[in-house]
Chains A and B, each alone.
Chain A
Amino acid sequence: MMERKVVDPEYMFKRAPREKKFLIGNEAVAEAVKRANVDIAIAYPITPQSEATHIVGDIYAEGYIKDYYRGEDEFNVMSAIAGARMGGARTFTATSGPGTLRAFEMFPLWAGARLPVVCAFMCRGVNSPLTIQPDNIEIGWLMDTGMLIFHAENPQEFFDMTLQAYIVAEQPDVHIPIGVCVDGFFVTHTREIVEVTPEDEMLPPYDPSTSPVPIMDMEVPPIRQMRDPFVMKSNYISYNTHASWQQEVRAAGERAKKHIARYVGKFIEVTNPDAEILLIASGTAAAQARVAMEQAREKGMDVGLAKIRVIRPFPEDEVRELAENPRIIIVPEHNIVGWLAREIKSRIDNSGKVRGHPRVFGGMTMPPEFIMEEIVNGRAR
């Protein structure tokens, strides 16, 4: 194990020298974990995530992580992650599709218990029929758990956002979980140039003393402290408390905005904002939309692209502003429900201009031509 030094997070994210490596997404996220000063990682196999947590296991074996094991199933892995976080440790875990669903009861608990968990979701389709292929329908379900959600487009963003997620999640005024999502296979198994920070530099450790709720170690007052206290008495104050508690979790998400702006950067990356037709997409759909946009512009069509990087907290103000100009908004997605289109429609005034197409799922790829079809149809309208 090499000697390493703690560095300032902003330096690491913005100014540290970068080395080019040729990595798949699963390797990129493991490189991030190596630099994240993680105390405990817990793993459970599922494609396409497994490889990432294999490598995290190797990093543990080399001594860069203090504890690591394979849990019994995703629900119990996410539970153990909660326990470790309540005990003041920094954690890492990852899962995919069916694993996400198996664990689901834990995500609102992470948020409600104010646990700054960072979890990678390498999205894949869910049963039935059985599939292991890319499909990000699970993000649509995660969106309402109280967790924050980043959607990385490629291995580079997966590396950067994973590191950044720790620093945002652990802010005392935020202190809620962040899911760093990527589209399975398209990102996890695609090899690209990734610029990584120096191997001997790591994030500062988590500081449990700044937690907005007491750490459960019998070292901080108050001694009489239940995480979470039962507020299920049948009276107005109990109900009001529960309601306020939920509001406070959402408020923490709002507070994250300024930290995201500082550490993660733009919520939305926009090319040609004044175009007649605006593509709005996240994850690998944004990559495909970019190709389609370029092809369309070569043909003289007025097309722009807004890539949304942060799904929660949703950049509502920016999206409302972006939605004013274009005549048509096209939202290509890698899932059947169209959670991004739904989200955009619910936030803007003129939702009639939003076309929730094209959508592919079940492992299908998104050829730029498929998006182009939509652009051409849109122009004809």
Chain B
Amino acid sequence: MAISSYRVIPGPESYLSPAAASMGVVLPEKGEALIEGKIVPEEEAIEKITEKLILAKNPFFFPGPLILWAWNEKAIAKAKAVKELAEAAGAKIIPMPDYRPKYPMINPEEEINPNHPNLTIWHNKIDTCVFVGVHCHYANLALKIIRGGTDCYTIALCGQAGHEDAMITLRDIHSEEVQKLTEVVKRAKGGTPQ
């Protein structure tokens, strides 16, 4: 297959962005990750995520229903780990409890996710965001729309096969992997002269 030259980078990209998969971006295999459409070893992506989180002016976590609801022990553990990671990164949290279309109005300047009331972009003031615990289909829609309309840097910590539409994606991420990431972020933060 032809190697894709398409890069998954912050927008605003287009009136209607393509899905990265249709531009030839392929999901990573186990142990790998994607940075801006390129397959890299997982460690490299972890480093890059750490850098992005630390340098971000206004980072946000968007946890989804798969971890916000305490429906099994894994979800509870992952939720706890994600909260610690967000705290370590100094990020704020906007929860996405479900996929309810918002009524009566969506203000596209402020909110972007079609099927959720709370994914806010606030006139592009969120410069880095992390998707975690969102069902893959919905995450892909939102990630693509964000790329189309904003310059937000998107990161997806996926429990399954990953997301080409995010600028960085890890795959098979569960609570232990999130904890490891937190350690890396903490260490990096500690090492940064304030």
Contact = CB atoms under 8 A, between A and B. Distances in A.
B21 A225 contact: no
A212 B141 CA distance: 12
A244 B160 contact: no
B161 interface: yes
Contact of B100 (A211, A229, A244): A229
Contact of A245 (B2, B26, B111, B141): B141
A238 B108 CA distance: 10
A222 B19 contact: no
Nearest to A230: B101
Contacts of B16: 240, 243
Contacts of B101: 229-231, 233, 238
A258 B27 CA distance: 9
A248 B19 contact: yes
Nearest to B69: A221
Contact of A241 (B66, B98, B114): B114
Interface residues of A, number: 41
Contact of B145 (A240, A250, A317): A240
A247 B22 contact: yes
Contacts of A233: 101, 103, 106
Contacts, number: 114
Given A237-B114, A248-B141, A255-B27, A224 B22 contact: no
A2 interface: no
B181 interface: no
Chain B interface main SS type: loop
B42 interface: no
A84 interface: no
A235 B110 CA distance: 14
A220 B99 CA distance: 13
B20 interface: yes
Interface in A234-266: 235-238, 240-241, 243-245, 247-248, 250-252, 254-255, 257-258
Contacts of A254: 19, 21-22
A223 interface: yes
A220 B71 contact: yes
Interface string B99-123: 1110101101001101100000000
Nearest to B1: A317
B76 to A, nearest CB: 12
Interface stretch (B49-57, B132-140, B182-190): B132-140
Given A248-B140, A251-B19, A255-B21, 4 more contacts: A212-B137, A224-B99, A255-B161, A258-B26
6 contacts: A237-B106, A241-B114, A244-B141, A247-B144, A248-B141, A252-B21
Interface of B: 1-2, 16, 18-22, 26-27, 65-66, 68-69, 71, 97-101, 103, 105-106, 108, 111-112, 114-115, 135-138, 140-141, 144-145, 148, 160-162, 164
What 7 A-B pairs have minimum CB-CB distances, sorted nearest first? Answer: A222-B98, A241-B114, A251-B21, A221-B69, A212-B136, A251-B19, A222-B65
